[in-house]
Amino acid sequence: MRAVGGRELRVATWRLDMPSEHLPVLFFNGIGANIEAVAPLAEALDDRGFIMFDMPGVGGSPEPVVPYNTFTMAWTTAQLLDQLNLEQVDVMGVSWGGAMAQHFALQHGGRVRRLILCATSMGMLMVPGSPAALSKMADPRRYVDAAFMEKHFATLYGDALGETAGKSSHIGRLTPPTRRGYLYQLIAMLGWTSAPALPFLKKPTLIMMGDEDAIVPLINGRFIHSLIPNSELEIFEGGGHLFLLSHREQSVSCIRAFLDREDQAQERRRAA
C-alpha cells in the first residue's frame, strides 16, 4: 500500500531493484480488474521492471471518496513514478487501461518512451461491441458472482481461453471491485475521447487487437492506427478481449520485439 497524490493505492512492482538494459513497463489494467489478473504478463516479461496498481475501489485499493477522471489519475500515476524514482517508462494498457495509457502519454509525454495499446478504443467515439457482451461487461456481477462469470464468459471474452485451465485460472485470479469503485471507474471516461489529440502523439505506438473481440471490435484499433502517425497494428487471429492470455507467447514475443527495437534516431546514429 502506498499513499500517492492523496490516495491510498495497492501497488505491485516486479524487478525494479534488478539491473536491466530496458525501461520498466507501466501497466494500466482493464475496468474492475485487479493486479493478479495481469500478473502472468508481468512475470513473462522477466528481463525488465513492471509497475501496476489497483484503481481506487478495485482489488486491494480502498474505495474512493470522490470521483476521479483521466487527468487526475494520470497526475496520480506521475506521482507514483516520482516515488519509485523513475524518470521514464514504457507504457502499456488494456481495454479501459488502454484509454488511460493514451491519456497518460498525452499528458505526461516526457515520461513515456514507447506506448502499447491493447484491445482498446478512443473513448466515447469507439465503435461499440456486441450488445450482449457490453451489457455483461457493465454488470459488476461478473466479478462478484462466479456462476455469472462462468455462464457469460464466452459472450464476454470468446472461446480462445478454452473451457478448462485457461478460463478457470483467469477467473481464480479475480477479486471483486466495490460497487462504488466500479461505478467511478466507469464514469471516469464519460465524455472522454483521445481522437482530436492522437495525430499529435509522436510516441512509437504498438496497437494490439483481437479479430474476434466482442467488447472492443478490431475496427477501433484500425481507427487509432490511422490517427497516430508513428504507430503499427498487430492483429491476433482468433483473439478475443483476453488475447494477452489466450495468445500469451505470441503477445509476449510481439511486445518484446516492439519495446526492444531501437528508436529511429538511434538507428540513424548507428548507421552514420
- What is the block-wise mean pLDDT of the chain (272 residues), using blocks of 10 residues? 96 97 97 94 97 97 95 98 98 98 98 98 93 69 60 61 56 83 94 97 97 95 97 96 91 97 64 64
Predicted confidence at residue 106, as pLDDT, reads 98
What is d(CA 8, CA 59) in angstroms, rounded to the nearest whole number?
12
Cβ(15)–Cβ(223) under 8 Å?
Answer: no
SS3 90: strand
Decide: 189 and 200 in contact? Cβ < 8 Å: no
pLDDT on residue 164: 44
- 95 noted as active-site residue: yes
What is the biggest distance separating any 2 CA atoms in the chain, rounded to whole angstroms?
Answer: 61
Q: How far is C-alpha 40 from the geometric centre of its chain's CA atoms?
A: 14
Residue 185 near residue 140 (C-beta atoms within 8 A)? no
88-121: b (≥16 Cβ within 10 Å) or e = ebbbbbbbbbbbbbbbbbbbbeebbbbbbbbbbb
CB 194 within 8 A of CB 231: no
Q: Looking at residue 165, what is its pLDDT?
A: 45
Quick one: which of 149, 126, 158, 118 has its CA closest to 27?
A: 118
| pLDDT at residue number 174 | 79
Strands 11-14 and 7-9 come out as unpaired
Q: Which of 95, 194, 231, 251 is catalytic?
A: 95
Residue 272: predicted pLDDT: 64
pTM of the model: 0.90
